[in-house]
Amino acid sequence: MTLQERMKIASILLVYPEKNFSEILEEIEMVCKESEDKLVLASVDALARVPVSDLIRCYVATFDMQESTALYLTAHELGDSRERGDALLRLQALLRGAAFEPLEGELPDYLPLLMEFIAEKPIGMPTDELESRLAVACQMIYERLDEKHPYRKLFELIRDCLPSGQSPLQDEAGAILLKPVVETDLDNLPYPLVYD
């Protein structure tokens, strides 16, 4: 199984588990049994062992209710800082530049969306920086999941698909410190700034 196929499967498994999630798991398991990809099968098995209703509660409690395991890249990198808006705009431009539209109602830094983008990106499109950023965020989430957590194996699969994330610098709140997303150029403004 190729890295792109594994990343696509991981992106499907990481979205909110709808009522038909068990059927999706069965389909993925059938495809993966042919390739004998042990890590994908272990991820599917860990999720399949939990009833869908319990998995939904687990998903919400883990990814929606806790900032430290949220599924939004820039939230891990920048927290609630002002730079997050600029980072979201840059990600949206990257996706649109590849004719890849975000899911309705989702921010462009939603991890399953970015993983699907990497799996389906145009040939030759450079995404090394994005993949490294994803690797760091996914490593942080992985480290915060209990060994018995049903999504831990999935994050192990994701880590295996991405380059090794270097440990980033963090502030006291745990947000990753990045270089500024947008550099401000205040030289030679075409008009004076006047405030009343």
103 within a domain of the structure (yes/no): yes
Give the whole-angstrom CA distance, residue 163 versus residue 133. Answer: 9
Per-residue CA distances from 112 to 172, 179, 183 (Å): 27, 24, 29
125: three-class secondary structure by DSSP: coil
The residue with greater pLDDT, 46 or 178, is 46
Give the whole-angstrom CA distance, residue 47 versus residue 25. Answer: 8
Total structural domains in the chain? 1
119 within a domain of the structure (yes/no): yes
pLDDT at position 165 is 54
Mean local confidence (pLDDT), 170-189: 43
67 within a domain of the structure (yes/no): yes
Per cent of the chain over pLDDT 70 is 84
Q: Which of 70, 3, 77, 84 is nearest to 39 (CA)?
A: 3
Determine phi and psi for 85, rounding to 5 degrees.
Answer: -60, -45
86 within a domain of the structure (yes/no): yes
Give the whole-angstrom CA distance, residue 146 versus residue 4. Answer: 27
Give the whole-angstrom CA distance, residue 114 versus residue 151. Answer: 18
pLDDT at position 140 is 94
190 within a domain of the structure (yes/no): no
185 within a domain of the structure (yes/no): no
Per cent of the chain over pLDDT 90 is 61
Give the whole-angstrom CA distance, residue 99 versus residue 76. Answer: 26
Residue 15's domain comprises 3-161
Contact 18, 12 (CB under 8 A): no
Mean local confidence (pLDDT), 171-181: 44
Mean local confidence (pLDDT), 129-139: 94
174 within a domain of the structure (yes/no): no
The residue with greater pLDDT, 101 or 87, is 87
108 within a domain of the structure (yes/no): yes
